[in-house]
Amino acid sequence: MSTLILTAHGSKDPRSAANARAIAAELTSMRPRLDVQLAFLELAEPSFADALTALPNGRRAVVSPLLLASAYHARRDIPNQIERAGVRGIRQADVLGEDDRLVSVLRERLAELRVCPLDHDLGVVVVAIGSSNAAANARTAQVAAKLAEGSRWAGATIAFATRPEPSVAAAVAQLRRRGARRLVIAPWFLAPGLITDRVWNYARDNGIAMAQPLGAHRLVAETLLDRYDHALAANIAA
């Protein structure tokens, strides 16, 4: 048996942990023979460090980050904690990234707001968490272009709810200059939380509709299993 350690960031907001638990349950439903263990890097329990030390000796395990971007936590925090734990046989899977399946979930969330891909007066702001890693931000920015493929919108652009630029307000102003008469915010987040609440407050105050985060969608779980399978195959080959 192999273990998938579903590793989420963690938040003070209980909705974040609830979403992670729902994804873990979906993984178990899709792959009943897989041992799925949920862990958090901070601000919630069980901790990632405890999950590592609790692994049975000799158990193959894959750490599957419940993260969209390959930034600090995926590049440094998780590898450092694995090294400190001194547990052998662990592989780290890739982050979810800008996978087309997740972009399709974002389209579903917009469709829930009756957003039409043929609305040439519409501007779409994809809001994500920013990183100090410029390469990670550049990859995240690709989501807006992917989301707009095949549409006739006035435009779609990225905004970051945390630094760096462009801010949500700057992205909104940019789309209005490009001719957008109506706007909608598409949050590139896995779950609601304190940051998405701030974005929602901005949207409400400015009369802008905002879609729901990706949530515990089956395609999120499918993407995680794809990352897990690739990491496990590499572990066996090694």
The model's pLDDT over 67-113, given as tens digits with 9 standing for 90+, comes to 999 988 999 999 999 999 888 889 999 999 999 999 999 999 999 99
CATH of the domain at 91: 3.40.50.1400
Distance CA 24, CA 21 (A): 5
Beta-carbon contacts of residue 21 (< 8 Å; ≥ 6 apart): 38
In sequence order, the 6+-apart residues with CB closer than 8 A to the CB of 124 are 110, 115, 144, 147, 148, 153, 155, 156, 157, 175, 183, 184, 185, 186
Q: Sorting pLDDT into bands at 50, 70 and 90, what band is 56?
A: confident
Whole domain around residue 58: which residue ranges? 3-96+217-234
The span from the CA of 188 to the CA of 205, in Å, is 20
The reply to whether 104 and 203 lie within a common domain is yes
Q: Are residues 104 and 205 in the same domain?
A: yes
Q: Name the residue with higher pLDDT: 162 or 190.
A: 190
Q: What is the pLDDT of residue 237?
A: 58
User: Are 59 and 105 in a shared domain?
Assistant: no
In this structure, are 135 and 83 located in the same domain? Answer: no
**Same domain, residue pair 31 and 112:** no
Number of domains in the chain: 2
Q: pLDDT tier at 163 (50, 70, 90 boundaries)?
A: confident
- The reply to whether 154 and 230 lie within a common domain is no
Rounded to an integer, what distance in angstroms lies between the CA atom of residue 72 and that of residue 133? 8
Q: Using DSSP, state whether 41 is helix, strand or coil.
A: coil
Residues 120 and 202 in one domain: yes
Number of C-beta neighbours around residue 171 at 10 A:
25
**Is the same domain home to 86 and 142?**
no
Alpha-carbon gap, residue 155 to 29, rounded angstroms: 38
Q: Do 69 and 160 belong together in one domain? A: no
Quick: pLDDT tens for 180-224. 999 999 999 999 999 999 999 999 999 999 999 999 999 999 999
Residue 123 has pLDDT above 80, yes or no: yes
Could you tell me if 7 and 42 lie in one domain? yes
Closest CA to 192 of 14, 8, 15, 6: 15
Q: Write out the two tokens for 194.
A: 């304190």
**Three-class secondary structure assignment of 97-166:** CCCHHHHHHHHHHHHCCCCCCCCCCEEEEEEECCCCCHHHHHHHHHHHHHHHCCCCCCEEEEEECCCCCC
2: its two tokens: 């192999």
Q: Is the pLDDT of residue 238 over 60?
A: no
Q: Are 57 and 142 within one domain?
A: no
Question: Coil, strand or helix: which one is 94?
Answer: coil
User: Do 196 and 221 sit in the same domain of this protein?
Assistant: no
pLDDT at 57: 77
